[in-house]
């Protein structure tokens, strides 16, 4: 496959490389030489203002890929092949699929002035995908499926690369235990709080757990291990290892032997990553310290991460990850609603829009997190299972990668999350039957 353009920009190279890998599994070849383009014997894509030859697929550029600034874009959506698209143009396809894909993948809109949510994150209500009601679809993958059919009509020799659907279960360990292995001060403070609020059942439960007469509600790791073994799952765990607690960082401290043993056990059986604390988002030195702690405990290098509370800002957070040696991040999704934040169910390299550079950080988007279903969308367990299954089917249809986030807290025995373990177990049974 060859792409002709009048000149090559970092944006153009980035997005056509992504498209080429999705369609062919190979790097793109872009040329500015019309003669080379005209004599090419394979599939030809002309990304310029005028048609060159009859056997090409011509896409007239919108212009976004040749800009070097960040500015408000005029976007009007319309229907094409039963799909919502934008950046209407001329040619063999009704819109500039490269520019539209770049706009969504680069998270262009997150660099523009926007409303923050209560946690200081990009509010999903700002997003084009939410406003135009395609947040629930990996629409870039769907565009590319239709595009590949057009390319096959142009050149019958073109065969899209075969892709393999995959489900990757991931877990965030924000609170390893509910009662066990916490300091005397934290335990005493919690009991006093329960006394003042009259929560005597909680006091009784805490004392039973501490006296080893009952299991800790969040200690569900053996059950999870059994599930993984039974259904041959290969999950990824993200551990929060903040060196001090805060309003949103409530895990056991990493100097606790019990927590260290938990991390070691999981690092020997599964792939693990860092779950950078809330505090590390405000203090650039903390991420390095937390990474050093996790590396030391697990006795291995750490290359994967996912932000706590899905709290990140572009480009600051991802630049910080790169500086600290992170190569793969799993934060691309919303912490307020389920769906496809970057409108894709494939991994992709992060493009630093301010620096106009292709980076080495690969982003792995998720589309379902049970905490969104419970806290934000206020779903019943029945509706959550239905939604999770729907996303599974959507991603399977386009042969993408379905990444889910669950927490040990939801899978345990805490009355607050009663029934949610069944949601997960029933989902696994359904797709593995």
Residue 113 resides in a domain = yes
Domain range for residue 325?
Answer: 166-178+216-432
How much is the pTM? 0.95
Per-residue model confidence (pLDDT) at position 189? 67
Residue 160 resides in a domain = no
Those residues with Cβ within 8 angstroms of residue 266's Cβ, 6 or more apart along the chain or in another chain: 221, 237, 239, 272
* Dihedral Cα 300, 305, 308, 313, nearest 10 deg: 140
| Statement to judge: residues 125 and 173 lie in one domain | no
| DSSP code for 383 | H
Per-residue model confidence (pLDDT) at position 211? 80
Which stretches of the chain score pLDDT less than 70?
Answer: 187-189, 191
| Statement to judge: residues 117 and 174 lie in one domain | no
| DSSP code for 217 | T
Residue 9 resides in a domain = yes
| Statement to judge: residues 295 and 411 lie in one domain | yes
Residue 138 resides in a domain = yes
| Statement to judge: residues 170 and 147 lie in one domain | no
Closest by Cα among 398, 399, 392 to 366: 392
Considering its fold, how many domains does the chain have in total?
2
pLDDT digits 0-9 by tens, 170-191:
999 999 999 888 877 776 667 6
Alpha-carbon span 59 to 212, nearest angstrom = 68
Alpha-carbon span 282 to 200, nearest angstrom = 37
| Statement to judge: residues 140 and 252 lie in one domain | no
Taking a C-beta distance cutoff of 8 angstroms, is the pair 351, 106 a contact? yes
| Statement to judge: residues 128 and 174 lie in one domain | no
CA distances from residue 154 to 31, 55, 57 in whole angstroms, order as listed: 19, 6, 7
| DSSP code for 372 | I
At 294, which CATH number? 3.20.20.370
Residue 329 resides in a domain = yes
Residue 207 resides in a domain = no
Residue 56 resides in a domain = yes
| Statement to judge: residues 123 and 271 lie in one domain | no
Residue 86 resides in a domain = yes
Residue 340: half-sphere exposure toward Cβ, Cα within 13 Å = 27
Helix axes 139-154, 97-105, angle to 10 degrees: 160
Per-residue model confidence (pLDDT) at position 188? 64
């Amino acid at each position: 496959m060859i792409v002709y353009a009048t000149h090559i920009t970092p944006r153009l190279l980035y997005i056509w490389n992504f498209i080429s890998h999705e369609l062919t599994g190979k790097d793109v070849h872009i040329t500015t030489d019309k003669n080379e383009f005209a004599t090419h014997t394979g599939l030809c894509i002309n990304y310029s203002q005028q048609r060159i030859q009859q056997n090409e697929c011509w896409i007239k550029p919108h212009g976004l890929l040749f800009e070097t600034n960040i500015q408000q874009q005029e976007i009007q959506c319309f229907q094409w092949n039963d799909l919502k698209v934008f950046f209407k143009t001329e040619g063999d396809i009704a819109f500039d699929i490269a520019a539209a894909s770049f706009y969504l993948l680069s998270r262009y809109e997150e660099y523009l002035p926007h409303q923050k949510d209560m946690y200081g994150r990009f509010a999903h209500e700002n997003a084009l995908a939410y406003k135009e009601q395609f947040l629930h679809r990996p629409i870039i993958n769907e565009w590319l499926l239709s595009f590949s059919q057009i390319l096959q009509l142009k050149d019958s020799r073109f065969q899209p690369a075969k892709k393999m659907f995959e489900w990757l279960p991931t877990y965030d360990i924000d609170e390893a235990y509910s009662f066990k292995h916490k300091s005397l001060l934290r335990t005493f403070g919690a009991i006093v709080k329960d006394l003042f609020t009259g929560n005597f059942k909680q006091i009784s439960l805490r004392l039973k757990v501490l006296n080893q007469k009952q299991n800790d509600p969040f200690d569900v790791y053996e059950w999870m291990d059994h599930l993984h073994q039974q259904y041959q799952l290969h999950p990824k765990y993200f551990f929060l290892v903040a060196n001090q607690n805060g309003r949103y960082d409530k895990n056991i401290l990493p100097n606790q032997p019990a927590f260290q043993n938990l991390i070691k056990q999981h690092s020997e059986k599964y792939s693990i990553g860092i779950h950078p604390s809330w505090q590390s988002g405000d203090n650039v030195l903390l991420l390095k310290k937390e990474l050093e702690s996790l590396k030391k405990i697990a006795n291995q290098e750490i290359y994967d991460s996912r932000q706590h509370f899905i709290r990140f800002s572009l480009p600051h957070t991802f630049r910080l990850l790169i500086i600290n040696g992170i190569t793969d991040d799993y934060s691309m999704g919303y912490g307020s609603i389920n769906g496809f934040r970057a409108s894709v169910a494939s991994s992709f390299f992060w493009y630093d829009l301010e620096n106009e550079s292709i980076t080495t950080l690969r982003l792995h988007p998720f589309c379902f997190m049970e905490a969104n279903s419970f806290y934000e969308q206020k779903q019943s367990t029945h509706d959550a299972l239905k939604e999770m299954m729907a996303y599974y089917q959507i991603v399977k249809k386009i042969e993408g990668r379905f990444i889910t986030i669950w927490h040990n807290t939801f899978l345990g025995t805490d009355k607050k999350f009663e029934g949610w373990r069944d949601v997960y177990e029933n989902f696994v049974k359904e797709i593995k039957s």
